[in-house]
Every structure is written in structure tokens, then in C-alpha cells.
């Protein structure tokens, strides 16, 4: 736990002064890129401080100058910083609306263009979230999704949610499947203890939704790509 406590303190020391400077700057200029870039920098440095190495493959496969939908599996709370801090440009993500109410952090989320989601199971809530994501893509932001909708309890692939593929078919944005593994051992689900180690993030070639006649066919193609780079036991 000593490593975990040290990483938490390290993040706190960097986040507080950065927020004090960059949140007012973003409010005045409406330019969220410095705030976003600083958050990614802090995440990368904190990961290294924790004795974690991120091995990234396939970044050259990401289309330049296009807003994409990154679709990844989810096995650990380490997945979002490990993935997002290595994306080109700027991305938006879905997050629980309640997180928007956290002092300071919630304001940073709003300024960063993150998309609040009500997990009430209502079709109207899902439609509003997809509409927000479509607007984000139109503005040039990427969208990053964990397509299982939650962390897998045993790191094996879970069934995929339907919403991401509605968004892909409606928007036509390229889908970039992403395989993540190793994080399930470094920061296991249900634990706050960070264990030094190597995490792997693999970007696969883009998949064009226009090449598929249905949402289910697109989901199958994305699942196949993600599974292809995972250890056998994680493929579900």
C-alpha cells in the first residue's frame, strides 16, 4: 500500500496547483486543451512513479486528422489513464453524472467536454448521451468507450453494450478496437494496492462502420479484434 499512498499524494500535489491555474484559464479562454494535456501528463508521470510500464502497440494505425471512436475492454481502474494518456489529440468519455458534482474535479470534467450519463436504464437517457457523443465527434473530439460497460470481475471479456455501436453506425466515425491487459494484475478490481508491472495497450486497424450491414455485425468485428491480442484465458 505504500506505493499506492505515494502515488495518490504525488497526484494530489500536482493536481491542486494545476487546477488552480488551468480551470480559470479554461473558463476565460474556452480552450480546454492545456487542461486536458496537463491531466494526461500527470497521469503518465504518476504511472511511472508507481513503477508501472505501459507498452503501447499500433499507434501508427490511428487515422490522422479524423475523430475516431476508441473501443476497449475494461479490467482495471488503471485502464482509463493508461489508454487516454496515449491517445493523439483530445478525447471525450462517458462518465456517471454524479461525478460531475465532485468539487473542482467535476468542473474540470465539464470544461473538458466529458459526457454525463444517467444509469437509469431509460432509452431517453441513452439517446441523449449518444446525441452528445455525436456532437463531440462532429467538433473533432475522439470518443473513448469501454464497450463492456463495466470492469470485468475476472478479466475475461464480457458481452458488449449496444450503445457504442448505435453511435458508430449513426456517426460513421472509424472504430479503433483496443486490447488492454496486464492492468488486471497491477491494480486488480476491488483493490487499491498498486503492484509494479507492465501493462499492454494494443491499437488495432480502424474498422469502418459503413462496411457492416448491422450493429451486431460491427460488434462482432470489434470483439474479434479486441480478443485477438488478449491472452487466451481473457477472451471469454
pLDDT digits over 209-219, tens only? 999 999 999 99
**Whole-Å CA distances, 20 to 9, 101, 135, 169, 213:** 17, 18, 29, 40, 49
Domain assignment present for 13: no
Domain assignment present for 72: yes
Per-residue three-class SS string for 198-227: EEEEEECCCECHHHCCCHHHHHHHHHHHHH
Candidates 150, 138, 88; CA nearest to 113 is 138
Domain assignment present for 119: yes
Q: Which residue has the cell 488551468?
A: 22
Domain assignment present for 6: no
- Helices and strands, counts by H and E, the chain: 8, 7
Question: What global pTM score does this model have?
Answer: 0.92
**Beta strand 52-57 with 197-203: parallel, antiparallel or unpaired?**
parallel
Give me the CATH number covering residue 148: 3.40.1130.10
Domain assignment present for 68: yes
Per-residue confidence in pLDDT tens, the chain, 236 aa: 777 888 888 888 898 899 999 999 999 999 999 999 999 999 999 999 999 999 999 999 999 989 999 999 999 999 999 999 999 999 999 888 888 888 877 888 888 888 888 776 667 777 788 888 999 999 999 999 999 989 999 999 999 999 899 999 999 999 999 999 999 999 998 888 999 999 999 999 999 999 999 999 999 999 999 999 999 999 97
pLDDT at residue 7 in the model: 84
Q: Which domain holds residue 129?
A: 53-234
Domain assignment present for 142: yes
Collect all residues with Cβ–Cβ distance below 8 Å to 170 and sequence separation of at least 6.
130, 134
Overall number of domains in the chain: 1
Domain assignment present for 123: yes
pLDDT digits over 100-153, tens only? 888 877 888 888 888 888 776 667 777 788 888 999 999 999 999 999 989 999
Amino acid at each position: 500500500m505504500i506505493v499506492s499512498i505515494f502515488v495518490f499524494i504525488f497526484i494530489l500535489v500536482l493536481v491542486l496547483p494545476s487546477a488552480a491555474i488551468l480551470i480559470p484559464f479554461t473558463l476565460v479562454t474556452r480552450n480546454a486543451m492545456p487542461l486536458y494535456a496537463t491531466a494526461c501528463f500527470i497521469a503518465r508521470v504518476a504511472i511511472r512513479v508507481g513503477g508501472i510500464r505501459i507498452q503501447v502497440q499500433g499507434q501508427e494505425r490511428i487515422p490522422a486528422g479524423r475523430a475516431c471512436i476508441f473501443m476497449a475492454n475494461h479490467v482495471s481502474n488503471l485502464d482509463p489513464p493508461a489508454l487516454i494518456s496515449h491517445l493523439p489529440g483530445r478525447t471525450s468519455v462517458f462518465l456517471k453524472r454524479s461525478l460531475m458534482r465532485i468539487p473542482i474535479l467535476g468542473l474540470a470534467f465539464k470544461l473538458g467536454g466529458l459526457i454525463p450519463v444517467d444509469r437509469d436504464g431509460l432509452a431517453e437517457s441513452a439517446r441523449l448521451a449518444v446525441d452528445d457523443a455525436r456532437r463531440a465527434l462532429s467538433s473533432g473530439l475522439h470518443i473513448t468507450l469501454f464497450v463492456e460497460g463495466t470492469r470485468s470481475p475476472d478479466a475475461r471479456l464480457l458481452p458488449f453494450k449496444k450503445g457504442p455501436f448505435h453511435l458508430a453506425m449513426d456517426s460513421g466515425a472509424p472504430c479503433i478496437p483496443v486490447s488492454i491487459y496486464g492492468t488486471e494484475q497491477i491494480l486488480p478490481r476491488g483493490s487499491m494496492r498498486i503492484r509494479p508491472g507492465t501493462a499492454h495497450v494494443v491499437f488495432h486497424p480502424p474498422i469502418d462502420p459503413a462496411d457492416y450491414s448491422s450493429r451486431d455485425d460491427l460488434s462482432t468485428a470489434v470483439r474479434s479484434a479486441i480478443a485477438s491480442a488478449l491472452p487466451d484465458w481473457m477472451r471469454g
